[in-house]
Amino acid sequence: MLILGSFGASCLLVFAYPQSPFAQPRNVVGGHFIATATGLAFFTVFGAEWWSMALAVGTAVALMLVTRTAHPPAGSNPLIVALAGAGWDFLFTPTLFGSLILVSVALVYNNFGQGRRYPSYWW
Protein backbone atom coordinates (compact mmCIF):
# COMPACT_ATOMS: atom_id res chain seq x y z
CA MET A 1 0.00 0.00 0.00
CA LEU A 2 1.14 3.51 -0.74
CA ILE A 3 -0.84 5.15 2.04
CA LEU A 4 0.79 7.38 4.62
CA GLY A 5 -1.43 9.61 6.76
CA SER A 6 0.68 12.70 6.22
CA PHE A 7 0.24 12.44 2.44
CA GLY A 8 -3.21 14.04 2.81
CA ALA A 9 -1.66 17.28 4.04
CA SER A 10 1.05 16.98 1.38
CA CYS A 11 -1.70 16.85 -1.26
CA LEU A 12 -3.12 20.12 0.03
CA LEU A 13 0.26 21.79 -0.41
CA VAL A 14 1.17 20.41 -3.85
CA PHE A 15 -2.26 20.83 -5.43
CA ALA A 16 -3.64 23.96 -3.75
CA TYR A 17 -0.39 25.87 -3.11
CA PRO A 18 2.10 24.54 -5.68
CA GLN A 19 4.29 27.66 -5.53
CA SER A 20 4.90 27.27 -1.80
CA PRO A 21 8.48 26.36 -0.90
CA PHE A 22 7.04 23.49 1.16
CA ALA A 23 5.36 22.04 -1.97
CA GLN A 24 8.49 21.73 -4.11
CA PRO A 25 9.68 18.22 -5.06
CA ARG A 26 12.87 18.44 -3.00
CA ASN A 27 10.82 19.28 0.08
CA VAL A 28 8.09 16.71 -0.49
CA VAL A 29 10.34 13.75 -1.26
CA GLY A 30 13.29 14.77 0.92
CA GLY A 31 11.16 15.83 3.87
CA HIS A 32 9.16 12.62 3.96
CA PHE A 33 12.29 10.50 3.48
CA ILE A 34 14.32 12.24 6.19
CA ALA A 35 11.46 12.33 8.70
CA THR A 36 10.60 8.67 8.18
CA ALA A 37 14.24 7.58 8.38
CA THR A 38 14.64 9.56 11.60
CA GLY A 39 11.50 8.02 13.06
CA LEU A 40 12.67 4.53 12.14
CA ALA A 41 16.09 5.09 13.68
CA PHE A 42 14.63 6.32 16.97
CA PHE A 43 12.00 3.57 17.01
CA THR A 44 14.62 0.89 16.34
CA VAL A 45 16.92 2.11 19.11
CA PHE A 46 14.48 3.35 21.77
CA GLY A 47 11.06 1.88 20.96
CA ALA A 48 7.76 3.71 21.02
CA GLU A 49 8.28 5.73 24.20
CA TRP A 50 6.72 9.18 24.49
CA TRP A 51 10.11 10.82 24.95
CA SER A 52 11.71 8.99 22.02
CA MET A 53 8.86 10.03 19.74
CA ALA A 54 9.25 13.64 20.89
CA LEU A 55 13.00 13.52 20.25
CA ALA A 56 12.44 11.88 16.87
CA VAL A 57 10.06 14.64 15.75
CA GLY A 58 12.42 17.36 16.97
CA THR A 59 15.39 15.71 15.28
CA ALA A 60 13.46 15.22 12.04
CA VAL A 61 12.45 18.88 11.98
CA ALA A 62 16.04 19.97 12.64
CA LEU A 63 17.36 17.69 9.88
CA MET A 64 14.77 18.97 7.41
CA LEU A 65 15.77 22.54 8.20
CA VAL A 66 19.50 21.82 7.88
CA THR A 67 19.03 20.01 4.55
CA ARG A 68 16.58 22.63 3.23
CA THR A 69 13.87 19.99 2.79
CA ALA A 70 11.29 21.33 5.24
CA HIS A 71 7.87 19.82 4.56
CA PRO A 72 5.44 20.37 7.45
CA PRO A 73 3.27 17.27 6.84
CA ALA A 74 6.38 15.09 7.14
CA GLY A 75 6.83 16.25 10.72
CA SER A 76 4.26 13.65 11.78
CA ASN A 77 6.07 10.75 10.11
CA PRO A 78 8.17 9.79 13.15
CA LEU A 79 4.97 9.47 15.19
CA ILE A 80 3.28 7.43 12.47
CA VAL A 81 6.30 5.11 12.29
CA ALA A 82 6.46 4.53 16.05
CA LEU A 83 2.73 4.14 16.59
CA ALA A 84 2.42 1.74 13.65
CA GLY A 85 5.46 -0.26 14.72
CA ALA A 86 6.79 0.08 11.18
CA GLY A 87 9.87 -1.67 9.86
CA TRP A 88 12.61 -0.31 7.63
CA ASP A 89 10.69 -1.29 4.50
CA PHE A 90 8.29 1.54 5.40
CA LEU A 91 11.03 3.95 4.26
CA PHE A 92 10.57 2.82 0.67
CA THR A 93 6.93 1.73 0.59
CA PRO A 94 4.94 3.86 1.23
CA THR A 95 7.26 6.78 2.02
CA LEU A 96 9.65 7.10 -0.92
CA PHE A 97 7.51 5.55 -3.64
CA GLY A 98 4.38 7.32 -2.44
CA SER A 99 6.03 10.73 -2.34
CA LEU A 100 7.51 10.19 -5.82
CA ILE A 101 4.07 9.28 -7.16
CA LEU A 102 2.57 12.32 -5.43
CA VAL A 103 5.13 14.64 -7.05
CA SER A 104 4.61 12.95 -10.44
CA VAL A 105 0.85 13.51 -10.32
CA ALA A 106 1.43 17.09 -9.15
CA LEU A 107 3.71 17.68 -12.16
CA VAL A 108 0.96 16.63 -14.56
CA TYR A 109 -1.88 18.38 -12.73
CA ASN A 110 -0.09 21.64 -12.01
CA ASN A 111 1.31 22.03 -15.52
CA PHE A 112 -1.98 21.34 -17.25
CA GLY A 113 -3.24 24.65 -18.56
CA GLN A 114 -1.79 27.85 -19.78
CA GLY A 115 0.30 29.96 -17.44
CA ARG A 116 0.85 27.22 -14.87
CA ARG A 117 4.27 26.02 -13.82
CA TYR A 118 5.33 23.44 -11.27
CA PRO A 119 7.81 23.11 -9.70
CA SER A 120 9.28 26.51 -8.97
CA TYR A 121 12.62 24.73 -8.49
CA TRP A 122 13.93 21.18 -8.21
CA TRP A 123 16.97 21.59 -5.96
The tally of domains found in the chain comes to 1
Taking only the tens of pLDDT, the chain with its 123 residues reads 667 889 999 999 999 999 999 999 999 999 999 999 999 999 999 999 999 999 999 999 999 999 999 999 999 999 999 999 999 999 999 999 999 999 999 999 999 977 889 999 887
The boundaries of the domain holding residue 55 are 23-108
Burial letters 78-116, b for 16+ CB under 10 A, else e: bbbbbeeebeeebbeebbbebbbebbeebeeebeeeeee
Within a domain: 33: yes
Within a domain: 8: no
Within a domain: 40: yes
Within a domain: 88: yes
Within a domain: 27: yes
Given a contact cutoff of 8 angstroms between Cβ atoms, the answer to whether 4 and 77 are in contact is yes
pLDDT at site 111: 94
Within a domain: 13: no
Within a domain: 50: yes
